[in-house]
Amino acid sequence: MSPLFSVVIPGYNRPEPLKHTLRSVAAAAYGVGEGGVETILVDDGSAPSLEKQLAGFETCVEIHHLRQPNQGSIIARLTGLHAATGKFVLFLDSDDLIHPEKLLRHLAAHRTHQTDIVYDDMAIATLQADHDSLFSDGERVLTTNDVPDFFLRAQPAPHCPSYRRAYLTAALNAPIVPLDRRMDPAGDIWLYYNLLCHPAKIVKVDQHLTAVGPHPNERFSQHWETLGAAALLVAEGFQRRRPSTPSTIHAGALVGAVAFESWRRLPHDFHHGFSERLLAVWRNSPKGTEINLGGPVFRGLSLVLGPVNAGRLLRRLRGKPYATCRTFTTLELKRMLAAYGL
């Protein structure tokens, strides 16, 4: 009998956070019942292998080990998805945590509502002894059943949604945004943009069941500049290849609005080429009259100056300089941006 859930975990070294992740999966799998969950660990070229690094650690859950040469987390997720046999799929990074009731609650929602996507609210995790975790309520995630709104506005943590596997495999069989290793820091954005044009039934479970592991290890998210550059490539790729159909106009307009909002949040003195390419995503996207680009002050200025000039003025008046939020040295930033063609 096939399992109900496949939990796919790409990993690259860092065995200590991974141990907490595996323990949280084991606790959640226990609630589903024996044989209900398969755990697929995709080793993205760790040295030594993760299987060896985890030797002697009692995971409390059976692990299907897959190993590939280092190709990045996006391909590792796809490797795990292709190997999955469960009816539903949940992606975890190797430092993510899930509440013991997450899989059970998601399974109930999938079955009751015949959904393609189920998601929940964020929790706060506190690491305990023996790689266990304690959960408390965290932030609420926007409630919506609109596909573009879910992936672009709610945009939950990548381990928040669970998917019907048939929905995922059909959508990713020929992705709208082609694979590019440089997009890896924004791997969740790559996934979301590739699902934007695929209709789905979405249901939210109003419980705090998803947590980011409070680990001291370095994450991509510590360098917002790299995340921004990777996300820019994804948005540009989507814009170039978005199907030209009436049903995708709303998704295209919302992609443009998100790019415009990101442009407005940039430090006013950040790299000019990056800033202009981000703005170009909005310029070249369909315009949705129902989509607000800002608050009442911005909208008032836009009537007089136009949205771009209003945005430039407010960035100058309200925006902070890059020096107050930089995470790279000047040389590091130059090298990173050059890798992204900037």
pLDDT of residue 186 exceeding 90:
yes
pLDDT of residue 271 exceeding 80:
yes
169 and 235: one domain?
A: no
Q: Is the pTM here over 0.85, yes or no?
A: yes
Burial of 16 (0-12, 13-18, 19+ CB in 10 A): middle
Rounded CA-CA distance 185/267 in Å is: 21
Q: Which residue, of 194, 219, 244, is where some domain finishes? A: 219
* Residue corresponding to tokens 């709208």: 176
Residue 149's domain is classified under what CATH number? Answer: 3.90.550.10
Rounded CA-CA distance 203/313 in Å is: 40
85 and 191: one domain?
A: yes
**Least trusted range by pLDDT, from 23-32, 88-97, 224-233:** 23-32
164 and 138: one domain?
A: yes
pLDDT tens readout for residues 76-133 = 999 999 999 999 999 999 999 999 999 999 999 999 999 999 999 999 999 888 888 9
Give the count of domains, the chain: 2
Give, rounded to a whole angstrom, the gap between the first and last alpha carbons of the chain: 51
238 and 311: one domain?
A: yes
pLDDT score recorded for residue 219:
53
pLDDT tens readout for residues 242-260 = 988 877 899 999 999 999 9
Q: Which residue, of 219, 245, 270, is where some domain finishes? A: 219
> Domain limits at 49?
5-219
59 and 203: one domain?
A: yes
pLDDT tens readout for residues 40-80 = 999 999 999 999 999 988 888 889 999 999 999 999 999 99
140 and 262: one domain?
A: no
Question: What band does 216 get if pLDDT is binned at 50, 70 and 90?
Answer: low
Rounded CA-CA distance 289/292 in Å is: 8
